[in-house]
Chains A and B, each alone.
Chain A
């Protein structure tokens, strides 16, 4: 029970790990923009190459990255199929009954697939794999802080995420304990239909919720005792600071985006519509 890890953080000592989390969030965002800038075959090739470089620099093993892609396999297949069979173009490759596959369709499907894969790999490398959830939360709080002007509860939101992260292992432990207690009294969670199994979980969820509310109440009192009064006038133990490398990374991404636009304009080869 003790080895629950939060999110997908992969501890390593790479350049990307050492970047300021706020810059990584911005970089991830810009990288998404970049992936949508791609229009022709050359720019997609550049995008793919950039993803490979990113993987190499981050020092995250391929098998871990592939795990991130597993949940999206279905979406990936779905979009590929849709693009392949529903794109109409000029070069008909083959047709059978009502199905027509065009050259453009194949290329579009390929492009979209590359875009989705690169999108997932890029954002997970910049954010979840190389940044701890707590750093990510702090980064979001810091980046969203301008919204405080319009009274958006940015600090409260970040505090909520922090507390949620803090209580995931505690509540998991508690769930296991309640399940064990119910099993000891003859509850059966493993057999029967899906519906039956879901019903068997009710006696677990009810005590879990009751205890979660009690914990929340106690935590609120404890926080008050430690002088918590919202985000106003709060200082931080760990203040994020940016270094030259953060700006370099940002510049590289922006330059990459600009490059993609140029390739789109002057590039040759198949262009997606």
Chain B
């Protein structure tokens, strides 16, 4: 059995540009993702993030290379229809626009859509719908109409719809980009809880560096190439690299960087907001201590 849940080898994928010419969307992607990992994928528009996501649950087919999901080669071509359904069940996907992924006019019917397609028996569907709603904190909304919910709530319903298929991995393709800050926070906390408590592998494609900071690992794509695969700490300790790639630098990292440039010594590699605040506090305390010591000596 494979120790990695997702593994790709020399993965290439092309797309047709507006002139009908084949252009590379992904070039030589080698990726290993363990079960239960929390991965952020960042990169500019057109860097191949969404293409990568769609390859992983067989919406797209690669030009060449191998993809293994849970030890199974999904590029081998001898897959039956039920194998494909099984892959899509294991690797669920949540998209950017909440309106364009909800199918039914009633919340519970929408969540049931996946299990219904999989032919799950009715009482079991009911159990899964209840459980999924509970997990995303939307209990009591069973009979609501999706179009009356807020963006964050719709996205949580979409996550519940994926959860009801009992996936092992959830890919979020910029799932927070159309939400207001509150909706974004709802979705992120839901996803993090699923990752922590249920061991679901999470692949989060995002433009928000503050979200990427919270992942176990960050993958950076640029023009179809995987150019960085490291921890957020390693990545964000190099703000110059991010700027070169045309990516945002998290505010916290930016602040520390600026302070250092002004000649203020800050120890460690603070990345998240909390760490940043702590590092600055520590720096201020040291300064005060030094000042007091200086006074004492005088």
Contact = CB atoms under 8 A, between A and B. Distances in A.
Contact of B109 (A134, A223, A228): A134
A229 B108 contact: no
B95 A234 contact: no
Interface string B99-119: 111111110110011111111
Given A134-B104, A219-B103, A237-B125, A225 B88 contact: yes
A226 B95 CA distance: 12
B114 A237 contact: no
B106 A134 contact: yes
Contacts of A226: 88, 92, 103, 113-114, 117, 161-162, 165
Interface residues on B, range: 35 or more
Contacts of A169: 145, 147
Given A221-B59, A227-B85, A227-B88, A239 B100 contact: no
Contact of B165 (A163, A219, A227): A227
Interface in A82-110: none
B122 A224 contact: no
A239 B125 CA distance: 11
Nearest to B92: A225
A165 interface: yes
Given A134-B104, A228-B117, A229-B117, A239 B122 contact: yes
Interface string A237-255: 1110000000000000000
Contact of A235 (B104, B109, B119): B119
Contacts of A199: none
A215 interface: yes
Interface string A117-148: 00000000000000001100000000000000
A234 B117 contact: yes
Contacts of B125: 235-237
B117 A227 contact: yes
Interface in A195-232: 215, 218-219, 221-229
Nearest to A170: B99
Q: Which of A166, A173, A219 has the most CB of B within 10 A?
A: A166
Contact of A237 (B92, B93, B101, B116): B116
A193 interface: no
A133 B105 contact: yes
A225 B84 CA distance: 10
B165 A237 contact: no
B240 to A, nearest CB: 37
A6 interface: yes
A162 interface: yes
B116 A236 contact: yes
Q: Which of B59, B105, B165 has the most CB of A within 10 A?
A: B105
B157 interface: no
Contact of B148 (A2, A6, A165, A224): A2
Nearest to A230: B117
A14 B59 CA distance: 47
Interface in B91-146: 92-93, 95, 97, 99-106, 108-109, 112-122, 125-126, 129, 145-146
A18 to B, nearest CB: 16
Nearest to A225: B93
A61 interface: no
A77 to B, nearest CB: 37
B133 to A, nearest CB: 12
Given A162-B104, A235-B125, A215 B99 contact: yes
B81 interface: yes
Nearest to A237: B112
A152 to B, nearest CB: 21
25 contacts: A6-B105, A162-B104, A162-B105, A166-B102, A169-B145, A170-B99, A215-B99, A218-B95, A218-B100, A219-B101, A221-B59, A222-B93, A222-B100, A225-B93, A226-B103, A226-B114, A226-B165, A228-B113, A229-B85, A233-B119, A234-B117, A235-B125, A237-B109, A238-B109, A239-B122
The 8 A-B residue pairs with the shortest CB-CB distance in the complex, in nearest-first order: A237-B112, A222-B101, A218-B100, A227-B117, A226-B114, A169-B147, A225-B93, A233-B119
Interface of A: 2, 6, 133-134, 162-163, 165-166, 169-170, 173, 215, 218-219, 221-229, 233-239
Given A162-B103, A166-B146, 4 more contacts: A166-B102, A221-B54, A224-B88, A228-B117
